[in-house]
Structure 1
Amino acid sequence: MHFTKATDTDIPQLVALINSAYRGEVSKQGWTSEADMIGGQRIDAASLARYIADTDTTILKYTAEDQQIKGCVYLQVKGEKMYLGLLTVSPLLQDKGIGRQLLQAAEAIAVNHNKFTMTMTVISTRYELISWYERRGYVKTGEMIPLDIPETFGILKAPLDMYILEKKL
């Protein structure tokens, strides 16, 4: 599998991919859907453009043989740690190892940036997802924070909390 850094020309495909994996009816075909907890879109083009322009941020993408982006992950340098978010795989391709390989590539990027702790937040009721990360060496730090998102990233259907997970690399 080949992963490359996303650019501005990738934004339309990334918006479609991320929103389809997290929200709406298509997302329910995979196991990463948040559609029952959060309405609206997960990401917009303007936010992705800011991420791509930010020198502390990398969006890594997986492009399939048909030249369509089928997976991505967001990485941001946060002090001595690397923050991981938006680990996304097309709902139609989940459970084929793409997410695991994206995660491994993200961890390698962190180490290449001399960041030896990966950190992330996961909605506390996403038990299957938390277990997936735990099987890959991530642990709950014991800290839980409320999910507070701007409307451009969705509308909460009920209050939600997030665990902070970390892994030493």
Structure 2
Amino acid sequence: MSPRRIREAGAADVPRIVEIVEAAYRGRGGWTTEEGLVRGDRTSADEVAAMLAEPAVLLLVAADETGRVLGCCYTRRAGERAEFGLFAVDPAAQAGGIGRALVEEQVRRLQEAGVVELELHVLQGRTELIAWYERRGFSPTGETAPFPLDTALLADPSTRFDVLVRDLRSH
């Protein structure tokens, strides 16, 4: 199930973005779930709305032929680098190319804007997710980053994020 259209998110998309992100990260059934690893909400309407208002952020959504949003992701630019995140596809629509299309559209737009490196953080222990990103051109750096929220939300409070990067000059 490929998306019919990838576009910039708008305020009207916020509730659906939150729904998708919560289902993908905190629900059961999606292969990207962090169930059993992290407690609490993954995002909120206020957080997503703040992203939309931030000039350095590009929040994209993928929609089907009816216009229903099926996936989302954002990048936050800082000069020639960008951070990739809030990446989620509705669990009912996963494995249909939507995630790949979202990543590649972000990459295309970033390359046009002169960004040369895209960084993302993956919760440690998520080997299947890291492998998926490696197939999309990302490479582990060997670096880690701390969990940005209260570590009491983690099943294992010592868990960190693995840092991956994609060189946008060669892809």
Same fold by TM-score greater than 0.5: yes
Q: Which amino acid aligns with 2:135?
A: R
* 1:155 alignment partner in structure 2: 153
Aligned partner letter, 2:161: M
| Letter in structure 2 aligned against 1:139 | S
Q: Within 1, Cα distance between the matches of 2:139 and 2:132?
A: 11
Deviation at 1:150, TM superposition (A): 5.1
What secondary structure sits across from 1:149 in the alignment?
coil
Any idea what the Cα deviations from partners look like across 1:102-149, whole Å, max 9, x if unmatched? 110010111121101111111121000000111121111121122132
Q: Deviations over 1:4-42 (max 9, x none)?
A: 100111111111111111103xxx211000111011211
Q: 1:15-26 to 2 correspondence within 5 Å?
A: 15-24=18-27
Partners in 1 of 2:15 and 2:62 — Cα distance?
A: 15
Mapped partners of 1:48, 1:111: distance in 2: 24
Where 1:67 maps in the other structure, the secondary structure is coil
More displaced, 40-49 or 137-146? 137-146
Structure 1 Cα separation of the partners of residues 105 and 138 of structure 2: 15
In structure 1, the gaps of 5 or more residues are none
The alignment yields a C-alpha RMSD, in angstroms, of: 1.5
Counterpart of 2:153 in structure 1: which amino acid?
I
- Cα contact 2:23–2:30 (8 A) shared by 1: no
Q: Distance in 1 between matches of 2:148 and 2:9?
A: 26
Q: Give SS of 2:106's match.
A: helix
What is residue 76 of structure 2 aligned with on the other side? Answer: 76
Aligned-residue offset at 1:63: 1.2
User: Structure 1 vs Structure 2: percent identity of aligned residues?
Assistant: 32
Instruction: Report if the CA contact (8 A) 2:39-2:153 is conserved.
Output: yes
Where do residues 70-149 of structure 1 align in structure 2 (5 Å cutoff)? 70-149=70-149
CA distance in 1, matches of 2:154, 2:5: 35
Match of 2:166 in 1: 167
Contact 2:120–2:164 (8 Å) recurs in 1: yes
**Please, what TM-score do these two structures have when normalized by structure 1?**
0.91
Structure 1 runs (4+) deviating above 4 angstroms are none
2:36 counterpart letter in structure 1: D
Q: For 1:92 and 1:75, how far apart are their aligned partners in 2?
A: 24
User: Which structure 2 residue ranges, 5 or more long, are not aligned?
Assistant: none
Give 1:14's match in structure 2, choosing from 13, 17, 25.
17
Residue correspondences, number:
164
Can you list the C-alpha shifts for 1:38-96, whole angstroms capped at 9, x where unaligned?
Answer: 11211001111110000000110011123221000011002320111121111011111
